[in-house]
Amino acid sequence: MPFRAPVADIAFTLKYAAGLKAALAEGLYGDLGEDDIDAILEEAGKFTTNVIAPLNALGDTHGTPFKDGVVTTPPGWKEAYRAWASAGWNGLSGPSDWGGQDLPLSINAACNDMWNAGSMAFIIGPVLTMAAFEALSAHGTDELKTIYLEKLVTGEWTGTMQLTEPQAGSDVGALRTKAERAGDGSYRLKGQKIFITYGEHDLTDNIIHFVLARLPDAPPGTKGISLFLVPKFLVNKDGSLGERNDVRAHSIEHKMGIHASPTCTMVYGDHGGAVGYLIGKENAGMTCMFTMMNNARLSVGIGGVGVAERATQQAFEYAHERKQGRLASSASNDSVPIELHVDVKRMLMTMRALTNAARTICYATAIALDRGKRGKDDAARKSGSDRAALLTPVAKAFSTDIGTEVASIGVQVHGGMGYIEETGAAQHYRDARIAQIYEGTNGIQAIDLVTRKVSLNGGATVKAYLDELRQSVEKVRAANDPAFGMTAKRLDDAIASLDRATQWILIQLAKNPDAALAGATSYLRMFAHASGGCMLAEEAVAASRSGNGAAHSGDRIAIARFFAETIAVQSPSLEVSVTESADAVTGPALPGAA
């Protein structure tokens, strides 16, 4: 089924649930107006529907054949990539001095949502290029910027991010790729990286690798890692392409999903060492990576939202067309569309509610990142950065977890046809799964939330956030609309559970860190329930106030209510598993272990 970018819904969520309207009113985005934003989203929607979305199924079946070190992208991908770059999408939030448009990350996030729905396998390449040019822009020398930055921002060249090695996945500090000083200010790299997204392809003339490596005299662990820029082709002084550098793709992986995104093993130094240039300072590579980590994690989270949106649209359409069975509540013998069966309706509403909740969390995270960058003074920027730091692991892990859950429900809505590849429902499920793993596994995100983010500013950051969530609940109460059902009460309970679990975690971090870790994943889910529930409620209240037919206030209230009454309501049980069940995890030996 053709994908339709939900531009109006996305714009409404961005403005009312995530807080863009308030950010515009307080001048965070300068002269940028609502009309400008609507126009950009409209164009991104058209580009997604017309150019990216049609690539998705074709990319899945065709994959990226690899022969003699060369990766061939599926038919039509080169043309689509050229259209992408020439339309300026690659540099939407890129620095304006280097060919970008310097638009807010929140606008980029909303567009990214649509692009991911179009094709995760296509957009993950540009997303990594965006991360690469962000690192170069923040930490590169003027000379490196002059040679590489504009070409990365405009998409003339692509970028890769290379951390992973066979023995160094979540534990980046274990990496062994070596970099030696060449004596002329450059370095020579030797080693192997695995699982490198778009490490090799035929979309552009050059590929710029951003590689973590270790100097001979580096201290062990993450304190001894440096970041290097390593071009596939060296660049001459006049900007033309020179010799091939000593880096190559050795092979590509055969994977469960995102078949059109080549995942490469990269080999450095067959002929003495690949020429690399230092980004930032020696042994400060992790600091450079952290500059872009929040954005990259958010982008991957948005991948979960995008694929969930596509799976949801498809399931709704299928359930409308497919007829089976009769309604228990009707005397008619005619079979009915399955959307009318209560259990199918439950599945469809779960898909829509989870997708919309994850979307609001991601957009709110993007606005916090914008505040961290564009806030009016140091205090405003710090508060924005702290909020973004708190929400980023939730945005990444919850959105990608629900990406898979929603796609799985989508398969179920299709019945047997969901398991048959032709419908495309199975592809969404297979594609969605990787986003829970890369850019820091979701387990690592939960650990980050519990061990580093909850304790930010002595717990004051999370406390201020919970207070804001409570204000959203008060707005639901003040609306005094019976259509909200038990929304306010259920959200109150979810926030109270989250608050108690937060206090418990803050105590355990000092007393018994393993106990805090045992509940980290459940805690992250509770965090998402309270956040998503309140943001959906904000959106529904705004829709009912706006008196604007396009706001679909009835639908938005129904979604907010469904989320509060059937999903957020799980939080009190999760609280028990966080605060009372740690010993069930940490106490006994692993069953069956020798």
Ligand X SMILES: Cc1cc2nc3c(=O)[nH]c(=O)nc-3n(C[C@H](O)[C@H](O)[C@H](O)COP(=O)(O)OP(=O)(O)OC[C@H]3O[C@@H](n4cnc5c(N)ncnc54)[C@H](O)[C@@H]3O)c2cc1C
Going through 477-560 in order, the beta strands assigned E by DSSP cover none
Q: Which tokens go with 239?
A: 């900007």
Q: Binding of ligand X at residue 163 (CB under 6 A)?
A: yes
Q: How far apart are the first and last CA of the chain?
A: 51
What DSSP string runs through 342-364? HHHHHHHHHHHHHHHHHHHHHHH
CB of 11 to ligand X, least distance (A): 31
Q: Which of 165, 439, 538, 539 is catalytic?
A: 439
Q: Binding of ligand X at residue 417 (CB under 6 A)?
A: no
Residues near 526 by beta carbon (within 8 Å), at least 6 away in sequence: 494, 497, 498, 501, 571, 574, 575, 578
CB of 468 to ligand X, least distance (A): 30
- What is the per-residue binding string for ligand X in 432-461, x denoting contact by CB under 6 A? --x--xx--x-xx--x--------------
**Number of residues binding to ligand X, judged by CB under 6 A:** 18
The verdict on whether 439 is a catalytic residue reads: yes
Q: Rounded to whole angstroms, how far apart are CA atoms 277 and 286?
A: 16
Q: Binding of ligand X at residue 164 (CB under 6 A)?
A: yes
CB of 199 to ligand X, least distance (A): 7
Residue nearest to ligand X (CB): 169
Nearer to ligand X, 196 or 560 (CB): 196
Q: Binding of ligand X at residue 324 (CB under 6 A)?
A: no
DSSP run (H or E) holding 229: strand 226-231
CB of 44 to ligand X, least distance (A): 24
One residue of 255, 322, 341, 374 binding ligand X per CB under 6 A:
255
DSSP run (H or E) holding 382: helix 378-413
Q: What is the dihedral of CA 76, 85, 154, 230, to 10 degrees?
A: -10
CB count, 10 Å around CB of 578?
30
Q: Binding of ligand X at residue 300 (CB under 6 A)?
A: no
Nearer to ligand X, 495 or 518 (CB): 518
Nearer to ligand X, 371 or 396 (CB): 396
DSSP run (H or E) holding 208: strand 207-213
Q: Binding of ligand X at residue 119 (CB under 6 A)?
A: no
Judge contact between 283 and 215, C-beta under 8 A: yes
Q: Rounded to whole angstroms, how far apart are CA atoms 310 and 20?
A: 24
Q: Which of residues 187-226 bind ligand X (CB under 6 A)?
A: 195-197
Q: Which of these ranges, 2-10, 71-79, 163-171, 353-361, lies near ligand X under the rule CB under 6 A?
A: 163-171
> What are the backbone dihedrals phi and psi of residue 323, each rounded to the nearest 5 degrees, phi first?
-110, 135
Q: Binding of ligand X at residue 148 (CB under 6 A)?
A: no
One residue of 158, 263, 265, 404 binding ligand X per CB under 6 A:
263
Q: Binding of ligand X at residue 123 (CB under 6 A)?
A: no
Strands 247-252 and 241-244 come out as unpaired
Q: Which tokens go with 402?
A: 């629900």
Task: Please name the amino acid found at residue 183.
Answer: G
One residue of 54, 76, 88, 169 binding ligand X per CB under 6 A:
169
CB of 59 to ligand X, least distance (A): 14
State the catalytic residues: 439
Q: Where along the sequence are the contacts to ligand X (CB under 6 A)? A: 161-164, 169-170, 195-197, 255, 263, 434, 437-438, 441, 443-444, 447
